[in-house]
């Protein structure tokens, strides 16, 4: 089946720093989403981005579908950005089955 790899697994930043999280996937996909998991476990939608570039405030994402990777950029990080970031892909012909990466755990220090 399709493999989803996220890097780095852990990231520690000083408040105000910028970061780039990467998601590689092993086959063509129907769509791709980025999520932030809050301390209570809920997955918060960040981007639905099967291809192209999107921006939302300090966050932006780019997916290059032909090269099978996506990047999540966080600029001017804040302590509230801490948590786990997941990339998830939807393979073709598998209904609504999202395949998740293992996540990047981000810690932003004041």
Partner 1 sequence: KAGVTQTPRYLIKTRGQQVTLSCSPISGHRSVSWYQQTPGQGLQFLFEYFSETQRNKGNFPGRFSGRQFSNSRSEMNVSTLELGDSALYLCASSLDGLRHEQYFGPGTRLTVT
Binding site for partner 1 (CB under 8 A): 30-31, 33, 35, 40-43, 45, 48, 86, 88, 90, 94-100, 102-103
User: Shortest distance, CB of residue 110 to partner 1, whole angstroms?
Assistant: 27
How many CB atoms neighbour CB 18 within 10 A? 11
User: Shortest distance, CB of residue 102 to partner 1, whole angstroms?
Assistant: 5
Using the minimum distance from each CB to partner 1, give the nearer residue, 18 or 94: 94
């Amino acid at each position: 089946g399709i493999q989803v790899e996220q890097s780095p697994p852990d990231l520690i930043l000083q408040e105000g720093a910028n970061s780039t999280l990467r998601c590689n996937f092993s086959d063509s996909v129907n769509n791709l989403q980025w999520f932030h998991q809050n301390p209570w476990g809920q997955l918060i939608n960040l981007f639905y981005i099967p291809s192209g570039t999107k921006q939302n405030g300090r966050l932006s994402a780019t997916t290059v579908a032909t090269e099978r990777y996506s990047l999540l950029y966080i600029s001017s990080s804040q302590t509230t950005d801490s948590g786990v970031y997941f990339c998830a892909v939807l393979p073709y012909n598998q209904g609504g089955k999202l395949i998740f990466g293992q996540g990047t755990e981000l810690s932003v220090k004041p």
